[in-house]
Each structure stands twice: as C-alpha cells, then as structure tokens.
C-alpha cells in the first residue's frame, strides 16, 4: 500500500513537472552555414522570429568568409569600413543577440552583393501566458492537451488508490 502510494506520488510529480514546462524557456542556438554565393534573405524568413538572448552560430570555411557586424547603412551598401565587430578565425563563430534590436551582419569578401548578409530583428521573449493570438494558438492547444493528460492521469491514479 505505502509502496504503491509512493509510486503514484512520484508519477504525479513527474506529470506535473511535464505539464508545467513552458514551450520556450531558454535561449535558442541557431546555426547558420555561412557560405559564399548564397542569398540569405529566405534563410532569415525561415528562421524568424529571433528572440533576445538567442545565439547565432556561424559555420564557415576559413579564408572563404568572415562575419562582420555593421550598422544598417553598412548592410545596405555591403560596406564593412565602419564595422562594429568582425570575426574570421577558426571554423565557427558564436554571437549572442543580447539586445532587442536589428543586427546586421555581412561578409566583407564581396559575396554580400549576392545576398551574403543578414538583417536580424530580435524580439522580447513572449510572457509565459499571453492572450491567445493566431500565432499562439498552437502553443495554447498544446498546453491544453498537456493539462488534459495530467487530469486523466490523476483520475486513473485516484481510482487505483481507491482499489487498494
């Protein structure tokens, strides 16, 4: 009897922890294959939205590409002369998007003109329980189904406990 109750309690705790998990807690790590002759405007669309504190990890071949953080004008003109920061060592470069703003990255090796540049707007992480909008509906129904599973489990366990 005691053993069974302990198992039931443990199960309930595990389920509760599972149901309480929000859909987005920590910063995401977004990898990007940073290659010459690539137009990244679709890549940006596909990987949006970006959130403050996400990490962007550039993977590149040394000597073929660099990563240059520029301002909007530098991005528009593919001009790295007023770069804020640049990186070209090793095989990858991780950059944390730690502000809510638009970040502009280009490659200064000439490929920027062909689309090797990124304009990435970061958003604040949505609050834990925002009012449901079209975009959040999936997350909301996911949370509801989690809750339903939890309640069903509680009912089954309660029934089991009554039987012993």
Ligand X SMILES: *[C@@H]1O[C@H](CO)[C@@H](O)[C@H](O)[C@H]1NC(C)=O
d(CA 147, CA 143): 6
Q: Which is nearer to ligand X, 15 or 65 (by Cβ)? A: 65
Q: Which residue ranges make up the site for ligand X (CB under 6 A)?
A: 39, 41-42, 68, 80, 83, 86, 108, 114-115
Minimum distance from residue 113 beta carbon to ligand X (Å)? 6
- Least distance from ligand X to the Cβ atom of residue 41, Å: 4
Q: Work out how close the CB of 88 gets to ligand X at its nearest, in angstroms, rounded to a whole number.
A: 8
- How many contiguous H segments (helices) and E segments (strands) does the chain have? 4, 8
Q: Measured from the CB atom, is 33 or 138 closer to ligand X?
A: 33
Question: Is the CB of 44 or the CB of 140 nearer to ligand X?
Answer: 44
Question: Whole-number minimum distance, CB 89 to ligand X, in Å?
Answer: 11
Closer by beta carbon to ligand X, 39 or else 129: 39
149 token code pair: 């599973």
Complete DSSP assignment for 72-130: HHHHHHT--TT-SEEE-SSSEEEEE--SSSEEEEE-TTTGGGGT-EEEEEEEPPPPSSP
| Cα radius of gyration rounded to whole Å, the chain | 24
Closest separation in Å from C-beta 61 to ligand X = 17
Reduced to 3 states (helix: H, G, I; strand: E, B; else coil), residue 30 is strand
Question: Is the CB of 80 or the CB of 125 nearer to ligand X?
Answer: 80
- Whether a cis peptide bond, with omega within 30° of 0, leads into 101 is no
């Amino acid at each position: 009897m005691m053993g069974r109750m302990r198992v039931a309690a443990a199960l309930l705790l595990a389920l509760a922890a599972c149901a309480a998990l929000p859909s987005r807690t920590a910063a995401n790590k977004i990898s990007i294959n940073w290659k010459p002759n690539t137009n990244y405007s679709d890549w940006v669309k596909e990987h949006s939205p970006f959130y403050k504190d996400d990490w962007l990890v550039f993977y590149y071949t040394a000597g073929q590409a660099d990563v240059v953080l520029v301002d909007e004008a530098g991005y528009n003109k593919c001009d790295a002369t007023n770069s804020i920061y640049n990186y070209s060592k090793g095989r990858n470069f991780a950059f944390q998007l730690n502000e809510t703003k638009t970040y502009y990255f280009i490659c200064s090796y000439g490929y920027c003109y062909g689309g090797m540049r990124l304009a990435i707007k970061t958003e604040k992480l949505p609050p834990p329980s925002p009012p449901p909008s079209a975009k959040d509906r999936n997350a909301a129904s996911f949370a509801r189904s989690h809750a339903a599973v939890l309640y069903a489990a509680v009912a089954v366990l309660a029934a089991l406990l009554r039987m012993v």
